[in-house]
Structure 1
Amino acid sequence: MKDFLDRIPSTLSFGGLDFAAPWVLLALLLLPLLWWWRRRRRRGAIVFSRAGVLARGPRAGQGVVRALSALRLIALALCIVALARPRTGARAETSLTEGIDIVIAFDISSSMLAEDFQPNNRLEVAKARIKEFVTNRQSDRIAIVPFAAEALTQVPLTTDYPVVLAAVDAIQSGQLEDGTAIGTAIVTAANRLRSAPGRSRVMILMTDGESNRGAIDPRTAAQAAAQFGIRIYTIGVGTEGMAPVPVGRGLYGLRYENRPVKIDEVLLTDVARTTGGRYFRARDAQALQRIYEQIDRLERTPVKSRTYVRFTEEYRWPLGVALGALALELLLLAWRGPLP
Structure 2
Amino acid sequence: MNFVHPQSLWALIPAAAIIAAAVLTRRTILARLHVIGADTVERQVRLFLMDICMALFMILIITAAADPRGRRNPNAGNNTNLDTAVLFDVSRSMLTEDVPPNRLKAGIAALGQVIQALEGSRFSLIPFKGDAKILVPMTEDIVMLRLWMDRLGPNIFSSTGTNLEASLRTAMKSFPEGTAQRKIILLITDGEALSGNINRISRDLLVEGITVYAAATGTEEGGPIPSGNGSYVSDKSGSPAVSRADFRTMEQLAEDTGGSVYNLSRADAVSRLVDAIVSEQNFSSRRSSFVGLYQYRLYLFPALLMLFFYLCIRIWPWRK
TM-score, with structure 2 as normaliser: 0.57
**Pick aligned residue for 2:129 from 136, 141, 148:** 148
Distance 1:135 1:285, change over 3 A: farther
1:199-238 CA deviation, whole Å, 9 max, x = no partner?
Answer: 521101011102445xx42332122111100000122210
Partner of residue 58, structure 1:
none
Identity %: 25
Task: Give the structure 1 partner of residue 35 of structure 2.
Answer: none
Higher strand content, 1 or 2: 1
Q: Is the 8 A contact 1:238 1:282 kept in 2?
A: yes
Q: 2:191 aligns with which of 209, 218, 222?
A: 209
Q: Deviations over 1:166-215 (max 9, x none)?
A: 110122212112221111221111122372622521101011102445xx
Query: Greater CA radius of gyration, 1 or 2?
Result: 1
Q: Which residue of 2 aligns with 1:281?
A: 263
What is the CA distance between 1:126 and its match in structure 2?
1.0
1:231–1:276 Cα contact (<8 Å) kept: yes
Cα displacement (A) at 1:300: 5.4
Map Cα deviations across residues 69-96 of structure 1 (whole Å, 9 max, x no partner): xxxxxxxxxxxxxxxxxxxxxxxxxxx9
Q: Name the SS of the counterpart of 1:226 in structure 2.
A: helix
Structure 1 partner of 2:232 = 255
Q: Which of the numbers 135, 160, 168 marks the counterpart of 1:186? A: 168
Q: Secondary structure at the match of 2:154?
A: coil
Aligned pair 1:166/2:147, yes or no?
Answer: yes
Contact 1:242 1:259 in 2 (8 A): no
Quick check: 1:105–1:185 contact (8 Å CA) kept in 2? yes
3-state DSSP of counterpart to 1:135 = helix
How far off its partner does 1:286 sit? 2.2
**Amino acid across the alignment from 1:162:** V
Q: Partner amino acid for 1:217? A: N
Does the C-alpha gap of structure 1 residues 261 and 233 become closer, same or farther in structure 2, counting only changes over 3 Å? same
Going from structure 1 to structure 2, the CA distance change for 1:196 and 1:279 (only over 3 Å counts) comes to: farther
Please tell me the root mean square deviation across aligned C-alpha atoms, in Å.
2.4
Residue 239 (structure 1) aligns with:
219
Matches within 5 A, 1:219-234: 219-234=199-214
The aligned amino acid for 2:128 is: F
User: Does the CA-based 8 Å contact 1:129-1:285 persist in structure 2?
Assistant: no
- Equivalent residue number for residue 31 of structure 2: none
Worse overlay, 171-180 or 187-196: 187-196
2:93–2:243 CA contact under 8 A, matched in 1: no
TM-score by length of 1: 0.54
Residue 270, structure 1, aligned to residue 270, structure 2: no
How far 1:149 moved relative to its partner?
Answer: 0.5
Conserved? CA contact 1:186–1:222, under 8 Å: no
Provide the residue aligned with 1:133 in structure 2. 114
User: For the structure 1 residues 155 and 232, does the alpha-carbon distance in structure 2 shift closer, same or farther, using more than 3 Å as the test?
Assistant: same
The CA deviation at 1:113 is 1.1
Q: Which runs of 5+ in 2 are unaligned?
A: 1-77, 234-238, 284-320
The aligned amino acid for 1:231 is T
